[in-house]
Amino acid sequence: MTFVADTAKITSQRADTFEMQQEPQSPSLQVAGFRAEDALAYDINTIALMLGVCRATVFNEIKRGNLEARKLGRKTIVTRGAAKAYLANLPARSAA
């Protein structure tokens, strides 16, 4: 079963700890214990929330080729692997 994180509230204490709280919309969307790290792919809104940036920044990173995205019908999604690769390729900030 493929899960795409979408229309969910994300709460986090740290950048690597995300928990999804599904809004009750339909029985098919309610998955007990679902967390963002369990999703195979994320929509643009969810990626933007997880990275702490706006949607435009996510689309700009995709356009520059820094973040790999795929199309699922009309929806643009980013796989979990692509999100991890993007974060791994960001430059490290050295101590000043």
Which one-letter amino acid corresponds to residue 42?
Y
The verdict on residue 92 lying in a domain is: no
- What pLDDT shows up at residue 22? 45
What is the domain range of residue 19?
4-83
The verdict on residue 95 lying in a domain is: no
The verdict on residue 96 lying in a domain is: no
Total domains in the chain come to 1
The verdict on residue 88 lying in a domain is: no
**Structure-block tokens of residue 66:** 């820094």
The verdict on residue 79 lying in a domain is: yes
- What pLDDT shows up at residue 27? 43
70 CB-near residues (< 8 Å, 6+ apart): 41, 76, 77, 78, 79
Check the CA dihedral 63-3-75-14 and report its sign.
negative
pLDDT tens-digit map of 40-87 = 999 999 999 999 999 999 999 999 999 999 999 999 999 999 999 999
Which of 20-29, 34-43, 87-96 bottoms out in mean pLDDT, i.e. has the lowest? Answer: 20-29
The verdict on residue 91 lying in a domain is: no
